[in-house]
Structure 1
Amino acid sequence: MEQLKRMVVFATVVDRGSMVAAAEVLGMSPSAVSQQIRKLELSTQISLLHRTTRKLTLTEAGALFYQSCAQVQQLAQQAEQRLAELRDAPVGELRIAAPVGFSGRPITQALMPLLQAHSGLSLKLFFNDEQIDLVEQRIDLAIRVGRLEDSSLVARHIGDSRMLLCAAPAYLARKGPVSHPEQLPGQDWLALNNESLAPLLLRGPQGQEYKLRIDSRVSCNNILALRHFTLAGMGISLQPQQEIREELADGRLLALLPDWQAPSFGIYLVTPRRDAQPAKVRYALQALQRHLLPGP
């Protein structure tokens, strides 16, 4: 490593024409520059410069060696420039992991303007309801929901999303309306695999509580699959409010027991580290935070 530094010093001396001029560029003293050149000549065991009181000239070996040193210097400058670009502008490949339920409009609306404004930025998305190793998969940023396990990752809580009990009109036409939590046992439940592990707690308008253990007819690890079963009239499921706004608005899904609230879940933006984030991650954090904040 020291030899590479000396090569850069040597190339700067040749480019600037003197030790003094090179010292000003490098932020060193002229004597320190001269010492680096002497060490370079000792290590290569060949003279690189002819020194006179008026000027420096390259030896034949120095002229050949300078070409390689100049290439090293140029590569170092290019590397610094690329790092500066990554630091100051969103460029390169942005790798984001998110649950399957986020694969629709919110994440598209958040990231599309960023891609349109910065042509040097590319995007790779990983949608999976199972958590993946961010470091191993080289993930820049992940969207995670629910309770987060303790780890070295940096999590930014951006809000909470309400879960709604939902059913399709066809299901209610077949099973009858649901007007009280006591009617929930015995319904056809569609649930995520982990939802049957703990009782569902519903809170009423006057603070009353109702606990229900879900005995699911259909269970899976994918919220979109449950949504499709629910839309098809196969049963009742819990769905994130911000993900089903369109289905509620056009009547394809109906919210059951609107005065009773199921527990909400936190939405987090997670990165492997907090400091020295490249610009692509900083821009993406800002964009996602604006668009993923749960609405009323």
Structure 2
Amino acid sequence: MDQLKRMAVFAEVVAAGSLTAAARRLGMTPSAVSQHLRQLEGALGLALLHRSTRKLTLTEAGARYIEGCTAMVAAARAAEQALERHRDEPEGELRIAAPIGFGGLLARALAPLRRHPRLTLQLLLDDALVDLIDARVDIALRAGSLPDSSLVARRLGSMGTQMCAAPAYLAERGWPGTPQDLAQHDWLGARPFGTATQSLVLHSDAGETATVQVNSRAQASQVTALHALCVEGWGIGVVVSEDDRRALADGRLVPVLPGWQLPDLPVYAVTPRRGEQPAKVRHALALLAAHFDLLPGPAAG
């Protein structure tokens, strides 16, 4: 490493034209610069410069050597500038993992990143959890409670929920009038798989709380499948995706017990490492946090 520093000093001396000018640029004393040159020449066993009281000129060996030294310094500066851009300007590949229902949200929230031409975006949309390290994920969005882990989690906000069902299902099975009536209905999306019964804790607009056990008629690992099951009348589900909200808007789904709600789902941004993040991650996290700040309450998504 000392040899590389001496090579850089030699390149600076040649570029500056004198030891004094090079010392000024490097923040060193002229005697320290001269010592580095002597050590470099001693290590090489060749004189690199002709020194006189008026000027410095390259020896034949110096003329051959300076090209490599200059290239080394230029490469080091280019590497430093690349890291500065990485730190200060979003660039490279930004990999974000999220549940399938978050695709539209991510497209809107991250829209300002289009202004950075050196940045590319990869969205890994899957309701199953991915390994952030193996998949080289920069940010993962996760809803609900988080398992204990070494990952770094930042709460972005929450998503309101609403129970819903297809009109055809309710016409056949009847409308639940109280939370306890849900126990006589088919439920969609209970987890973990293999657990037929799920306990729901509901809160009313009047501040009441009710707990009811519901039975799963169908389960699915993806919200798109749960949405399709709900629209086709398999049972009562929970609005968690934009597809659900569109179906509510056009009447393919209708609210169930609108005066009662399940707890909001907290949404977290999870990153695999602590400490300083590159600009692409910092910018994305700021945009996501700002987006959730603007979301309305119960129907957010």
Same fold (TM over 0.5): yes
Distance 1:272 1:99 in 2: 17
Decide whether the 8 Å contact of 2:166 with 2:230 is kept in 1: yes
- 1:225-248 CA-to-partner distances (Å, cap 9, x unmatched) read 111111122211123277733222
Distance 1:2 1:164 in 2: 66
Q: Structure 1 stretches (4+) deviating beyond 6 angstroms? A: none
Counterpart residue number, 1:107: 106
Decide whether the 8 Å contact of 2:198 with 2:215 is kept in 1: no
Counterpart residue number, 1:172: 170
Deviating more after overlay: 177-186 vs 274-283: 274-283
Secondary structure of the structure 1 residue equivalent to 2:276: coil
Counterpart residue number, 2:154: 156
In structure 2, relative to structure 1, the CA distance for the partners of 1:290 and 1:248 (3 Å cut) is farther
Distance 1:268 1:26 in 2: 47
Deviating more after overlay: 51-60 vs 190-199: 190-199
Q: Which amino acid aligns with 1:151?
A: S
Decide whether the 8 Å contact of 2:226 with 2:237 is kept in 1: yes
Distance 2:86 2:141 in 1: 22
Q: Which amino acid aligns with 2:146?
A: L
Decide whether the 8 Å contact of 1:168 with 1:231 is kept in 2: yes
Counterpart residue number, 2:144: 146
Counterpart residue number, 1:137: 135
Counterpart residue number, 1:284: 284
Distance 2:95 2:155 in 1: 20
Deviating more after overlay: 206-215 vs 177-186: 206-215
Secondary structure of the structure 2 residue equivalent to 1:136: coil
Distance 1:290 1:242 in 2: 19
Q: Which amino acid aligns with 1:4?
A: L
How far off is 1:163 after superposition? Answer: 2.2
Counterpart residue number, 2:54: 54
Distance 2:82 2:14 in 1: 25
Deviating more after overlay: 154-163 vs 274-283: 274-283
In structure 2, relative to structure 1, the CA distance for the partners of 1:192 and 1:71 (3 Å cut) is farther
Q: Which amino acid aligns with 1:149?
A: P
Decide whether the 8 Å contact of 1:95 with 1:141 is kept in 2: yes
In structure 2, relative to structure 1, the CA distance for the partners of 1:2 and 1:252 (3 Å cut) is farther
Secondary structure of the structure 1 residue equivalent to 2:177: coil
In structure 2, relative to structure 1, the CA distance for the partners of 1:243 and 1:32 (3 Å cut) is farther
Secondary structure of the structure 2 residue equivalent to 1:178: coil
Counterpart residue number, 1:227: 227
Q: Which amino acid aligns with 1:295?
A: P
**Pairwise CA RMSD:** 2.2
Decide whether the 8 Å contact of 2:217 with 2:234 is kept in 1: no
Counterpart residue number, 1:126: 124
1:263 aligned onto 2:263: yes
Distance 1:135 1:47 in 2: 51
Decide whether the 8 Å contact of 1:107 with 1:291 is kept in 2: no
Decide whether the 8 Å contact of 1:191 with 1:218 is kept in 2: yes
* Percent of residue pairs identical: 47
Distance 1:213 1:7 in 2: 75
How many residues are matched?
294
How far off is 1:279 after superposition? Answer: 1.9
How far off is 1:78 after superposition? Answer: 1.0
Distance 2:6 2:190 in 1: 62
How far off is 1:206 after superposition? Answer: 4.2
Structure 1: 5+ residue stretches without partners = none
How far off is 1:5 after superposition? Answer: 2.1
Distance 1:138 1:169 in 2: 43
Counterpart residue number, 2:68: 68
Distance 2:168 2:8 in 1: 75
